[in-house]
Structure 1
């Protein structure tokens, strides 16, 4: 899943169709169902930004498949004209974010954090054991 090549889909059709394709391909793996909800994505973003955002979402979906033991995942993408909000959530096993070290590679979180930081964005993880995980990313546009 982490090496799924969707750059062509992004370049041709945009971020949303690529994310929808990713969710469709991920649905059914380990009994997992993904849903994509979007608002305000009528206009295309810069191609390099769309690719970076897609790679972040792709890594989060991969984490859900590998670690969460979830049955449901949702990807929310909302364009607020001056910033883009991305929220990826699952109903999986959850974890204690305080025990997650950003210095050690783990669950792809380090690479996601670096990508978000390179885009001058904010990255927040909310998770609770047995209650699932929500990752919130805010990126300036």
Structure 2
């Protein structure tokens, strides 16, 4: 009978459903419980042999699991927010590059259609400055 009880205790410990085991004795009677010893029994847990394991309560493990899952959810939400911010920053950068490119093209078109040389020189200088800005920002290539 005690061998069957020991096997059951080992199976419970292996399944993860076991709680802390207390061995209580009253004369020739032995009682294994997850609570404290009832009246008339004395705690003899220290005399238990190594084939019976005592494990911490499942409630503490469940609390730790809940806390870890909450942390994982927070980390996942933060990662998603970071990715969205990165995407928005990339979109803003490429939109700035696109606006500068439109300004360069408009300036070059104005330079080609103007009838005055002085205006064409100013347009050329403006287009060169815009191209330098594009290069400096890293928009080209």
Please say whether Structure 1 and Structure 2 have the same fold, judged by a TM-score greater than 0.5: no
Which structure is higher in helix share? 2
**Structure 2 length normalisation: TM-score?**
0.19
> Whose Rg is larger?
2
Which structure is higher in strand share? 1
Structure of greater relative contact order (alpha carbons < 8 Å, 6+ residues apart)? 1
**Structure 1 length normalisation: TM-score?**
0.19
